């Protein structure tokens, strides 16, 4: 394998250390040099990494550039950059993919998600309720693997009640099993608030309204980007909250009469990052895992990030490009294969080869 040369990475705010290290070790391991543009919202983590790396890496191997969209555009369009890896929204991922490929570069751009969980009637109610809340409210819902839609097959009132109770038990903070942190900025608070208001105006039922949860509202009044968890029950699959990526601690619940009705909703999703089924039946698990339209699938695991060495990446509008961003696919992405054919003497007999 041969290195491409200079490669670039553009990463989001939500995992300022983890996401860059999806690509940096593999890119450097393949012999490339790397230029990283962290999110301008969280510049400090990778700046410190670069300082530490400078003590062991030769100058110019790992480079950090700071800036906004203009900086990202300059990195994508620089003639010396051979490949671009991006993680962010689908809108920007598609723009970067089109521009970079137009310039003849390799590009892998991961976008957004609308991840569906399906709870079957035989699910373990307590485990499912806790896992669903962990999935949609963990990291304040600001992660591309967070649950955002729960499809409940049948009524299952006890499951819904347990989810509501566990969501209401969450408290603002960073310590403890029931703690949920703030979102990234005021723009995020506004976007999430408007999404909840729109769901309400469309006729959805707010089982938990994160805008007015007392402990979170109090913290927001004292300063900070706090909004509590919200649980919304929908009567129709046409509601916007079931389709738009809200990127916050908001769970939409839709009741489905059958397995196939739930799959129809999940399959209609334009994204394809993650999906999960909650069940105690191996046969039911097999039925769903073979029919979900998603790349990373869980059985009783609401955040089904593949364990190493399996690769990370979605399908449909969750990814623009042909490789996953980690694993053996990333080795392929950050290098090219050099094939060498040799001959050391005159052939002794004629064949199609000579």
The catalytic site residues sit at 144
> What ranges in the chain are assigned the alpha helix state H?
20-29, 44-53, 69-77, 90-102, 125-137, 157-168, 186-201, 214-221, 259-267, 282-289, 328-333
Q: Which residues, at least 6 apart from 143, have a Cβ–Cβ distance to it below 8 Å?
A: 14, 15, 303
State the Cα–Cα distance between residues 325 and 110, nearest whole angstrom.
8
Residue 1 and residue 9 in contact, taking contact as beta carbons nearer than 8 Å: no
Closest CA to 303 of 152, 115, 38, 98: 115
Crossing angle for the helix pair 259-267 and 282-289, to the nearest 10 degrees? 30
State the Cα–Cα distance between residues 224 and 112, nearest whole angstrom.
25
Closest CA to 243 of 204, 190, 286: 204
The alpha-carbon radius of gyration of the chain (Å, integer) is 23
The gap from C-alpha 208 to its chain's centroid, in whole angstroms, comes to 24
State the Cα–Cα distance between residues 311 and 214, nearest whole angstrom.
41
Tokens of 47: 């700046």
Residue 7 and residue 82 in contact, taking contact as beta carbons nearer than 8 Å: yes
């Amino acid at each position: 394998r041969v290195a491409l040369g200079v490669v670039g990475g553009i990463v989001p705010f939500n995992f300022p250390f983890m996401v860059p290290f999806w690509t940096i070790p593999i890119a450097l391991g393949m012999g490339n040099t790397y230029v990283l543009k962290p999110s301008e919202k969280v510049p400090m983590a990778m700046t410190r990494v670069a300082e530490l790396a400078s003590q062991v890496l030769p100058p110019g191997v790992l480079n950090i550039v700071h800036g906004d969209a203009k900086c990202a555009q300059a990195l994508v369009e620089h003639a010396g950059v051979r490949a671009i890896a991006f993680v962010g929204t689908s809108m920007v991922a598609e723009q970067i993919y089109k521009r970079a490929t137009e310039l003849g570069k390799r590009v892998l751009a991961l976008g957004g998600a609308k991840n569906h969980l399906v709870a079957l009637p035989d699910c373990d109610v307590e485990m499912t309720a806790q896992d669903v809340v962990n999935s949609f409210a963990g990291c304040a819902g600001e992660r591309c693997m967070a649950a955002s839609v729960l499809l409940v097959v049948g009524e299952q009132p006890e499951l819904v009640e347990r989810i509501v109770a566990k969501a209401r038990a969450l408290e603002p903070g960073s310590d403890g099993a029931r703690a949920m942190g703030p979102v990234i900025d005021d723009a995020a608070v506004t976007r999430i608030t408007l999404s909840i208001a729109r769901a309400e105006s469309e006729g959805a039922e707010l089982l938990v309204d994160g805008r007015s949860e007392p402990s979170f509202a109090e913290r927001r009044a004292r300063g900070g980007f706090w909004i509590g968890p919200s649980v919304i029950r929908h009567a129709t699959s046409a509601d916007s909250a079931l389709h738009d990526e809200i990127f916050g601690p908001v769970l939409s619940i839709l009741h489905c009469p059958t397995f196939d009705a739930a799959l129809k909703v999940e399959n209609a999703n334009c994204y394809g990052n993650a999906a999960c089924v909650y069940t105690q039946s191996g046969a039911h698990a097999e039925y769903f895992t073979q029919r979900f339209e998603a790349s990373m699938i869980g059985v009783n695991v609401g955040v089904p990030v593949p364990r190493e060495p399996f690769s990370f990446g979605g399908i449909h509008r969750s990814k623009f490009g042909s490789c996953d961003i980690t694993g053996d696919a990333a080795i392929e992405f950050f290098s090219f294969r050099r094939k060498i054919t040799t001959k050391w003497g005159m052939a002794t007999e004629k064949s199609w080869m000579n």
